[in-house]
């Protein structure tokens, strides 16, 4: 019998090898959405870049489709962009741009194979960047670093690299080096070719790719002089003292390739985009919850990492974002939801570019497919055909803000219930209920207070049920059990209560602060109080 692989297997391997699925992570205001737009611009997926704040008549960024995002000038939800570059299929999943939406970012990082870590040249490594890098390391996601805003005054390049190594425990390996200090960017030199310099001319407002000019080393010496010589000396110093580029070290999280540039003026962005093609890993076998892994060549499997409603105001529908992990997805195929064992028909499937959709007939490992109105799906679900597959679930973050939601108009209680249910399924907030308050007054639990702004906005504008949010005096949540819930209910000394998380019926004990929590644990050491994923980790 021939040992040659079947044609479908060969096709899946070939298509998977062409996929690059990645996210951009950063601290707020580091330029993440601007970089997302610039990457799409350089891939010629769009013809004119927008700016986050729409300055100078420029429109909002493609990935920021929600009205609230355009008003605030930040991303508050993840979005998927698929485009082509150098005969590869690029699946870029944009992440929220504020620390209050860390939970959404965590879900995105469960669905990508690589991340671009964006660092502000002036501010260096900031708190949210460190947290997100820690998540990447925990999930085994390799990281490419882009030091942004080099066209503005900032810190010394060598100091920035030292901070990355010191604070993140990863060795930076420059692939590109700036010619000129931050705020006086003369051009870029590639580590692989120090015989030429790339010099850029900015395009007004940065709406199009910067004009690039290649100078020989001799021309660079003559025209740029000392900045060119300094760049070569610094680059040589870093390369001689470091381990150099090594793919295995990159994929295992020991090194991070580093690029410099400016997303707003589109300088250095194409070099970064090319690096994603050349350096980022293609889809690989994915670990299963029960052990073992799902090979990319096996029958279809996918992970639901995001659910979003009302992306298209004209249709008011619901879309579940599914990362294809193995096999071939074909529109209309019957798949099984691992959690329930029930069959699901994928008749309405799209690829997504921001808020724009295109019907997809086939998708391969690494692609992101949007399933329309698949009402039974929840974040963290596994879909599969053939041999059963179930990927590890996506755990919830520990909420730190709590508020009781009530409709302003009780005659709109139906819209109220529908909106609350939808926000819970999407993971916009964690929805908790209690016997004392009932379903008519659910408790919204959030990682950060800005999530409440999203809830208020969407309940009014999408579900036509304006609400009030009355804050509760709790800051900490722990998972307990029925016995623990009974003890807490009888305790009169501790400012605590037990709420039920609607999505999975988990019992959460909520406390006013750490003093009350510690006091209760000292008095009742046998009560189960398990932490969720801590936002401070």
The model's pLDDT over 131-153, given as tens digits with 9 standing for 90+, comes to 888 888 888 999 999 999 999 99
**What is the Cα–Cα distance from 301 to 296, expressed in whole angstroms?**
9
Give me the CATH number covering residue 255: 3.40.50.300
Looking at the structure, tell me whether residues 419 and 472 fall in a common domain. Answer: yes
For the entire predicted model, the pTM comes to 0.82
Looking at the structure, tell me whether residues 235 and 368 fall in a common domain. Answer: no
Q: Which of 279, 295, 324 is the last residue of a domain?
A: 279
Predicted pLDDT of residue 191: 96
Q: Which of 248, 279, 310 is the last residue of a domain?
A: 279
**What is the Cα–Cα distance from 466 to 311, expressed in whole angstroms?**
19
Divide the 537 residues of the chain into consecutive groups of 10 and give the mean pLDDT of each group. Answer: 58 96 88 84 62 40 49 54 92 71 78 95 90 86 97 95 96 97 95 95 72 94 95 95 93 97 92 96 96 95 85 68 95 94 91 76 94 85 95 83 94 92 85 87 90 89 92 93 92 84 87 92 93 63
Looking at the structure, tell me whether residues 187 and 259 fall in a common domain. Answer: yes
Predicted pLDDT of residue 103: 74
Inside any domain, residue 160:
yes
Q: Which of 279, 306, 337 is the last residue of a domain?
A: 279
Looking at the structure, tell me whether residues 446 and 353 fall in a common domain. Answer: no
Inside any domain, residue 138:
yes
Q: How many domains does the chain have?
A: 3
Residue 103: closest CA among 414, 479, 429: 429
Looking at the structure, tell me whether residues 121 and 251 fall in a common domain. Answer: yes
Strand, coil or helix: 380: coil
Residue pair 104/308 in contact (Cβ under 8 Å)? The answer is no
Express the helix, strand and coil content of the chain in percent, nearest 5 each.
Answer: 30, 30, 40
Looking at the structure, tell me whether residues 313 and 412 fall in a common domain. Answer: no
Looking at the structure, tell me whether residues 324 and 414 fall in a common domain. Answer: no
Looking at the structure, tell me whether residues 234 and 274 fall in a common domain. Answer: yes
Predicted pLDDT of residue 61: 46
Looking at the structure, tell me whether residues 255 and 296 fall in a common domain. Answer: no
Inside any domain, residue 19:
no
DSSP label at residue 286: E
Looking at the structure, tell me whether residues 217 and 140 fall in a common domain. Answer: yes
**What range defines the domain where residue 350 resides?**
286-384
């Amino acid at each position: 019998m021939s040992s040659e692989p079947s044609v479908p297997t060969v096709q899946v391997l070939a298509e998977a090898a062409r996929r690059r699925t990645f996210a951009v992570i950063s601290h707020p205001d580091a330029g993440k959405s601007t970089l997302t737009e610039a990457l799409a611009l350089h891939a010629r997926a769009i013809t004119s870049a927008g700016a986050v704040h729409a300055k100078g008549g420029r429109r909002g960024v493609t990935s920021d489709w929600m009205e609230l995002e355009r008003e605030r000038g930040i991303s508050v939800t993840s979005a998927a962009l698929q485009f082509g570059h150098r005969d590869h299929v690029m699946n870029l999943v944009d992440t929220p741009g504020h620390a209050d939406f860390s939970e959404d970012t965590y879900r995105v990082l469960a669905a990508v194979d690589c991340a671009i870590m964006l660092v502000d040249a002036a501010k260096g490594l900031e708190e949210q960047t460190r947290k997100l890098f820690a998540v990447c390391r925990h999930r085994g996601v390799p990281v490419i670093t882009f030091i942004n805003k080099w066209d503005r005054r900032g810190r010394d390049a060598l100091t920035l690299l030292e901070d990355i190594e010191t604070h993140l425990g990863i060795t930076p390996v420059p692939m590109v080096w700036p010619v000129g200090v931050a705020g006086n960017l003369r051009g870029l030199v590639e580590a692989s070719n120090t015989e030429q310099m790339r010099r850029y001319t900015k395009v007004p407002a940065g709406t199009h790719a910067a004009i690039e000019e290649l100078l020989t080393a001799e021309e660079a010496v003559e025209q740029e002089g000392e900045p060119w010589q300094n760049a070569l000396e610094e680059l040589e110093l870093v390369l001689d003292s470091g381990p150099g580029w090594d793919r295995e070290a990159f994929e295992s999280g020991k090194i991070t390739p580093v690029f410099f540039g400016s997303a707003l003026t589109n300088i250095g962005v194409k070099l970064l985009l090319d690096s994603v093609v050349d350096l980022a890993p293609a889809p690989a076998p994915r670990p299963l919850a029960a052990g073992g892994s799902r090979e990319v060549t096996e029958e279809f499997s996918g992970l639901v990492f995001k659910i979003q409603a009302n992306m298209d105001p004209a249709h008011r529908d619901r879309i579940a974002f599914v990362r294809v992990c193995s096999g071939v997805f074909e529109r209309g195929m019957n798949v099984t939801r691992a959690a329930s064992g029930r069959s699901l028909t994928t008749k309405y499937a799209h690829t997504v570019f921001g808020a724009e959709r295109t019907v997809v007939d086939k998708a391969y490992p690494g692609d992101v497919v949007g399933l329309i109105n698949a009402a039974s799906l929840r974040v963290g679900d596994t879909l599969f055909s053939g041999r059963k597959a179930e990927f590890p679930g996506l755990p919830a973050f520990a909420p730190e803000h709590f508020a009781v939601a009530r409709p302003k108009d009780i005659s709109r209680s139906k819209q109220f219930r529908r909106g609350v249910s939808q926000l819970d399924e999407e993971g916009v907030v964690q929805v908790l209920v209690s016997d004392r308050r009932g379903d008519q007054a659910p408790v919204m639990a959030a990682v950060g207070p800005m999530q409440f702004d999203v809830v208020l906005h969407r309940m009014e504008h999408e579900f036509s049920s304006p609400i009030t949010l009355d804050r509760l005096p709790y800051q900490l949540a722990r998972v307990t059990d029925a016995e623990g819930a009974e003890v807490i209910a009888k305790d009169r000394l501790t400012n605590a209560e037990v709420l039920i998380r609607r999505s999975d019926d988990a019992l959460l004990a909520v406390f006013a602060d750490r003093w009350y929590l510690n006091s209760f644990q000292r008095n009742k050491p046998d009560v189960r109080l398990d932490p969720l994923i801590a936002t401070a980790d």
